[in-house]
Amino acid sequence: MAYSRDGGRKDKDYKQQRKGPSNKRYIVRRKVCTFCVNKSSSIDYKDANMLSRYISTRGKIEPRRRTGVCARHQRALSLAIKRARHIALLPYTSSFVHKTGITTPH
């Protein structure tokens, strides 16, 4: 998806928000990036406990719009999650998918 298109849509959503509620797919709620707030907490790929908060039950990396992480930290986070997966601290998929092979759409 192109970034310019994304930005345009956000602008439109913002205008609609001022008029009143509309049929938006995602509720736009500004969250503060937790990594920006407490600057001391760095993104460590060995910290599986912390990283597991940013992956879904299926083992997928949660999107920014859900976690509220800023773009810079999301990039660092995804890299850390991928590293953690490589050394088997985090799953690539949930064990449920591994066993059954069923990938039901959300």
| Residue 73 lies near Zn ion (rule: CB under 5 A) | yes
Please count the residues of the chain: 106
Shortest CB 14 distance to Zn ion, Å: 21
CA proximity to 69, closest of 83, 79, 59, 84: 79
In the structure encoding, which two tokens stand for residue 68, read together? 């509220």
Question: Rounded CA gap, 103 and 100, in Å?
Answer: 9
Q: Binding segment for Zn ion among 18-26, 27-35, 53-61, 98-106 (CB under 5 A)? A: 27-35
Q: Are 78 and 45 in contact (CB under 8 A)?
A: no
User: With respect to Zn ion, which residue has the nearer C-beta, 35 or 54?
Assistant: 35
| Residue 64 lies near Zn ion (rule: CB under 5 A) | no
What residues numbered 32-51 form the site for Zn ion, per CB under 5 A?
33, 35-36
User: With respect to Zn ion, which residue has the nearer C-beta, 43 or 84?
Assistant: 43
DSSP E strand boundaries for the chain: none
Q: Are 71 and 33 in contact (CB under 8 A)?
A: no
Shortest CB 71 distance to Zn ion, Å: 8
Choice from 70, 76, 89, 97 touching Zn ion (CB under 5 A): 70
Q: Which residues bind Zn ion (CB under 5 A)?
A: 33, 35-36, 70, 73
